[in-house]
Structure 1
Amino acid sequence: MNRINEAPIKVLHNASIYGHPGADTIVLEQDRIRAIGRSSELESLSLESTRAERIDLEGQIVLPGFIDAHIHLIHTGLVESGWRVDLANLSRDGALDALAQEAVHRDGDWVVGTGWDESHWQDRTYLTKAELDRIAPRSPMLAIRMDGHLLTANSLAMKHIPPTASEHLIEWDTGILREQAVDAMAESVRPDATCVGEAIDAAARLCHRLGITTAHTMSRLEFFEGFMKRREQRRLRITICPDMHSFDKLVAVGLKTGYGDLWLRFGGMKVFADGSIGARNAAVSEPYAGGGLGELNQTDELLMEYVKRADHAGWQTVIHGIGDRAIDQILRTHEALRTDVSLHHRIEHFELPQPCQIRRVKAAGLHLCMQPNFIANWSGPNSLYVDRLGVRRDQLSNPLRAICDADIPLAFGSDGMPPSPLFGIHGALHGAYEGQRITVEEAIFCYTGAGARLGFEGAVKGQLEPGALADLVILDEDPRVNPEHVSDRSIRMTWVGGDLVYCAQSPTTNGARE
């Protein structure tokens, strides 16, 4: 790949170009798209330089690079780099075995696992303190649920719960911690700067394999230095959305949304209005099966103050809102303040809105960032949503069709569960219910152009046009041809800024396989 990347001009030919019927060639010069058209029409462009590389794409399709508008790169990278134990897609026994093996390896040191999901287990119950005590009698251990809103701790770990953790969010007998207590507990096991750097690099490599060229990462400001280092060499464009606790520091030095360069910039300020459905603490107006309405994480007054200060200082807000009570609180806040629509204020997840709330989002000029992979993971017969909410509310969840029909700006992110855009697109096409389904073209736009628009970068990202950044993903087959198998499509290449950063096999260049 080094020889290819050294060439000032790359000619990708014998391809289909998404959005350009009849075109078979795309020419890249430095970090931009120079031209798109038929090979015969563009031949002269490559001949201008004796160092031009011609890459035969063998009939594959070129799309704009995917933009994951909601991911946690540090968390994802800590799993990818092995610093945390990956418990995703494991059975209960499998998760406990993986944690037990790591406890033997760590020999008394902290063990942190993440990604378990009881909704796919036969008994559908959370991991318990007793289970973790049995497998790790000498090591403090945390097992973080997939959504990050709940964890289970063993007895040794619970001795380290800081006094800042809210007592009502701790179940001392079961070892379950929720929301703010999870964050407080995580402070006991913080990766050092070396681990953070390795995690970011590992997350970037994963993104490249998945065709992701830009990531909006929800991250604490303390990790900013790690993102700054090697930001160009990493070849992943990153938009950081820090938490609201960093607001005063950032405003004091004159920073606001959009500050940065093409590799690293600030997005919006993250606030949690509620929790998650899986942890039973998303704030809903109708009780969960088994009781409870979840919990609002902010008072009306505090959320109003956060949004008012951010809006006045030129900061986009990124507010996590899953249940309809949390969504209502967010909407009432924006409606009362008449916030600046040019800041593209965001609601994240938006899983359980009332129909009237969709209309209110439109009227308030807000943007949505949703996770269609949640549909594939947790909606439909015998699913998490049915277990927690019942069939009726599951049928009303994640109403992508109504949102698109209302012409509300909608971008997709993964929340890292899992981070594959193709899996997310599959969820958007094949939801269990008609109201969850949109077209393949709409889904692709939500993962490309809509993410660029959400980040104020629509002029240079999320599109295949001359002058745009040369951020591309090459698929083995057009996802419009067999949309029922979109999740089976293969990422063949990923290009960022005109550089080939991932290739499934050696490309054919200038007539020969490299």
Structure 2
Amino acid sequence: MTERTPTPAGTPAAGTDRTVLLRRGEVHSPADPFATAMVVERGEVAWVGSEGAADAFADGVDEVVDLDGALVTPAFTDAHVHTTATGLALTGLDLSGAPTLGRALELVREHADRRPGDRVLLGHGWDAARWPERRAPRRDELDAATGGRPLYLTRVDVHSAVVTTALLDLVPGVRERTGFLDGEPLTGDAHHAVRAAAYAALTPAQRTEAQRAARHQAASLGIGTLHECGGPEISSPEDFTGLLELAAAEPGPRVFGYWAEQDVRRARELGAVGAAGDLFVDGSLGSHTACLHASYQDAPHTGVAHLTTADVAAHVVACTEAGLQAGFHAIGDAAVSSVVDGFRAAAEKLGTGRIRAARHRVEHAEMVTPETIAAFAELGLTASVQPAFDAAWGGEDGMYADRLGAERARTLNPFAAMLRAGVALAFGSDAPVTPLDPWGTVRAAAFHRTPEHRVSVRAAFTAHTRGGWRAVGRDDAGVLVPGAPADYAVWRTGDLVVQAPDDRVARWSTDPRSGTPGLPDLTPGQPLPECLATVVRGRTVYARPEG
């Protein structure tokens, strides 16, 4: 495979030729663990160092920024996002905070009243596992709440949905598709068909509004790069290319686009950096569609397999030969095993070296074993994972334990074992499944509900900054060193510390002998840092409003 440099859609170059000195702060840089100043020039980091040395630059720059003690870090990269769906949840009907089924139906009714002109009502975020009623909304309840209008309402994991009769009637033949069981949430082909109809009702202006809202939210949280995971079963080519065009035309986070289709040519035509992302090998645990070796504890089956080992192998070979990343959505242990077996078959044909060099990806990878972890390391696979999943659904009484039983649930998301084995990790949110929340994501990994799976705050922070860049084949970004892209965020925070996986907080990080730059104290209960500004390629894409 030839050397490649992925090109994202992102901040225009205009205005990035200014030279800026930031001083009197804390700069998180491995080049100088105790740096207090930084120079940015032509969209790149030009220098990092001490306050005293910064005086030499003061007269030769276009602007001096007084940090007033603020922390400067690399901007975060969210390695798995569905941008339009995230924006729709931000601007529309979001049921993630509904405490009961009854309240969810009230919110549906209120949303329908507010949006009389929408051809299809859209909503997201219901989770029956959190409601005392322990069931999804029925179709007759939704028909009543919407006055008989079309409604598409996704479960929090986006792998199943409930809809109104009016929306079903818009999709010919949907009742004969797999995944349709009268009275149950839609899954599989039935869900994909209904989702396509619902999203087709969006106008281009609505899509753009949602994408702008999501990018603004990301920037306000210190996120400088998004990995968009699109595909024919998730969004549409128009949605995908529209996002890339928007990101190229307007300031905001960079966007690397992944298109989840086995047609490698199509992915390249759409401007994707990989025929990857949510190319479904299975579904999700919450919707009982993740593919398992042994049955669910609360359902008499093992989930759904969408691709075979042979399918995986063929796709990996095609992508590797085309110079694109391959990648797959795999959550259940049977799905992960199938992916590993497919990669091994591809390696037998092309050689392990070519497979490793391509830096292919696996999304989610929640139910891994020591054997599949070792295979990830051997084959150079990046695990694109979501620590917030454990925070939301892990633990002895969480949804994972309901689905799998406590013993199997404790094996999920073993980040520490992955790092020990040498597996590259890239952190993301899968927004809107869990919210854009980078510091919350770092905290979730460092304080995993299963203690043996915890990693240090420093390792988690690296996976959410540099890890996302490495996941697209870039080793020169996601870190504040001379020559790196000037993608950074400025934070108001408390004392900087070094935090280990066993919850120890070492406040000796200012001792030069440690050589380790500090990070905020993320112990649960401590306030998360507040983003003051986000800069992408030297250009400010977010500044906290005064007051």
TM (norm. structure 2) is 0.84
Match of 1:484 among 519, 523, 543: 523
Structure 2 gap segments, 5+ residues each? 1-14, 232-236, 498-518
Match of 1:76 among 52, 63, 86: 86
Match of 2:68 among 58, 64, 79: 58
Whole-Å Cα distance in 2 between the matches of residues 282 and 442 of structure 1? 28
Paired residue type of 1:389: L
Paired residue type of 2:293: S
Match of 1:399 among 414, 430, 436: 414
Whole-Å Cα distance in 1 between the matches of residues 187 and 527 of structure 2? 33
Whole-Å Cα distance in 2 between the matches of residues 335 and 178 of structure 1? 30
- Structure 2 partner of 1:98: 107
- Structure 2 partner of 1:418: 435
Deviation per CA, 1:51-91: give whole Å up to 9, x if none: x2222222121110000111111111222343xx1222222
Match of 1:289 among 297, 304, 329: 297
Contact 1:9–1:46 under 8 Å retained in 2: no
Quick check: 496-505 or 480-489, which moved more? 480-489
Matching of residue 40 in structure 1 with residue 52 in structure 2? yes
Paired residue type of 2:222: G
> Equivalences for 1:470-481 in 2 at 5 Å?
470-477=486-493, 478=496, 480-481=519-520
Deviation per CA, 1:453-501: give whole Å up to 9, x if none: 1111221x20001111111012222473522046622222211111222
Match of 1:113 among 120, 123, 147: 123
Match of 1:274 among 276, 279, 282: 282
- Structure 2 partner of 1:203: 214
Deviation per CA, 1:382-411: give whole Å up to 9, x if none: 211111111101111100010011111111
Secondary structure of the residue that 2:79 maps to in structure 1? strand
Matching of residue 133 in structure 1 with residue 143 in structure 2? yes
Matching of residue 214 in structure 1 with residue 225 in structure 2? yes
Contact 2:247–2:253 under 8 Å retained in 1: no
Q: Give 1:304 shift.
A: 3.0
Fraction of identical pairs, as percent: 26
Deviation per CA, 1:337-360: give whole Å up to 9, x if none: 106211111111011112221112
| Gap change, CA 1:409 and 1:390, over 3 Å in 2 | same
Contact 1:77–1:200 under 8 Å retained in 2: yes
Q: Give 1:232 shift.
A: 4.1
Alpha-carbon RMSD: 2.2
Matching of residue 8 in structure 1 with residue 18 in structure 2? yes
Secondary structure of the residue that 2:72 maps to in structure 1? strand
Contact 1:71–1:217 under 8 Å retained in 2: yes
Whole-Å Cα distance in 1 between the matches of residues 155 and 342 of structure 2? 30
Whole-Å Cα distance in 1 between the matches of residues 389 and 473 of structure 2? 26
Q: Give 1:226 shift.
A: 3.9
Structure 1 gap segments, 5+ residues each? 260-264, 508-514
> Equivalences for 1:435-454 in 2 at 5 Å?
435-454=452-471
Deviation per CA, 1:411-456: give whole Å up to 9, x if none: 1111011111111111101111123210000000000111111111
Paired residue type of 1:206: Q
| Gap change, CA 1:155 and 1:11, over 3 Å in 2 | same
Structure 1 moving runs of 4+ over 4 Å:
none
- Structure 2 partner of 1:262: none
Whole-Å Cα distance in 1 between the matches of residues 274 and 343 of structure 2? 18
| Gap change, CA 1:239 and 1:7, over 3 Å in 2 | closer
Paired residue type of 2:273: F
Match of 2:337 among 305, 314, 328: 328
Q: How many residue pairs end up in the alignment?
A: 487
Q: Give 1:105 shift.
A: 3.1
- Structure 1 partner of 2:383: 368
Contact 1:162–1:185 under 8 Å retained in 2: no
- Structure 1 partner of 2:371: 356
Paired residue type of 2:421: A
Whole-Å Cα distance in 1 between the matches of residues 481 and 529 of structure 2? 24
